[in-house]
Amino acid sequence: MAFSIAEAFAPATVANLGVGFDILGLALQGMGDRAIVEFQDAPEIIFSEIRGDDGKLPRDPALNIAAVSARALLDHVGEARGLSIRLFKGLPLSSGLGSSAASAVVSVIALNKLLGEPFTRAQLLPFCLEGEALVSGYHADNVAPCLLGGIILVAGTTVNAIQPLPLPDQFHLALVTPDIAVPTDSARKILPKHVTLKTMIHQTGAVAKLVDALHRGDLAALSQAIEGDRVVEPARACLMPMHREARAAAKQAGAAAVFIGGAGPTLCAVCESAVIAEMAASAMQAQYLAANIPCMSQATGVDQCGAVVLNAY
């Protein structure tokens, strides 16, 4: 059955999980971007509507992630028609919640439906990466979990480099996102250009321990590995006011580990129950509000479905 309009949803994501810089990411339940994509006879891609971005996203299709990703798929299949896109941003920009990845994925998932779903979700990865590369570089630590859901090991930018990892039974998350933008390029520029051999050995060991802990469902070992980063998070902590205070508050509320979501400023706390996640989210939020810094917080879990088509007609 042929469709001319499709509506899709792509979830928020957080990358790195502490020690897994650019190679680990997970999808989050709840928040995400939504798009309605419609074929049009003219070959151009246009935005008929963008909401939720406070007017910050470019309307030029050559500069907008959602359009660039969709164009990559259209060109690949040789589709002459263009698109009208209505994009509804449910994610704050530059927040460490995979906003750019969600924009890339949501338009491609909808377009794939219009084309008759010639590609599996994993096979859509290269097209999504074309859009993500505009602002975050050509890496898949947000795009892959956004597409596929779950916790993903990203060993490269091809489909065969993407490996889903098991999710422990008791794995809950508390998030707080202060109203402060941390652009990915700024967060990358602050990283050290060189690390010692000793640090490299520690870092790779921590990643190995994290993957092992996921396979064994060992939350204590997982939490220890997540907090073992000696390279990226120590360098980026200065970009996030109240980082130390919010981290301590989450721990006092019972969180097992706390890490920076992607480039930040979102902080993510790993918790062994939904109750603890609620308490940790409230505790972190209280720290920012006491400092007169607006923020949003939530207790959530891992979205194991990834991006989905909501409607097609």
Q: Which residues are catalytic?
A: 132, 184
Q: In a 10 Å sphere around its CB, with 0-12 CB exposed, 13-18 middle and 19+ buried, how is residue 224 labelled?
A: middle
C-alpha to C-alpha distances, 63 to 134, 275, 312, nearest whole angstrom: 8, 42, 27
* 8 A C-beta contact, residue 232 and residue 200: no
Q: Which helix (H) or strand (E) holds 277?
A: helix 274-290
Return left, alpha or beta for 290; rule: phi > 0 is left, psi -120 to 50 is alpha, else beta. Answer: alpha
* 8 A C-beta contact, residue 138 and residue 21: no
Q: Amino acid identity of 280?
A: A
Classified as helix, coil or strand, 191 is coil
Query: What does the DSSP assignment read for 40-102?
Result: ESSS-EEEEEEESSTT-S--STTT-HHHHHHHHHHHHHT---EEEEEEE--S-TTSSS-HHHH
Could you tell me which of 44, 10, 29, 15 has the C-alpha nearest to residue 304? 29
Q: Which helix (H) or strand (E) holds 219?
A: helix 219-226
Q: In a 10 Å sphere around its CB, with 0-12 CB exposed, 13-18 middle and 19+ buried, how is residue 266 labelled?
A: buried
C-alpha to C-alpha distances, 135 to 28, 88, 104, nearest whole angstrom: 21, 19, 11
Which residue has tokens 């939530």? Answer: 298
Structure tokens at 104: 């890339």
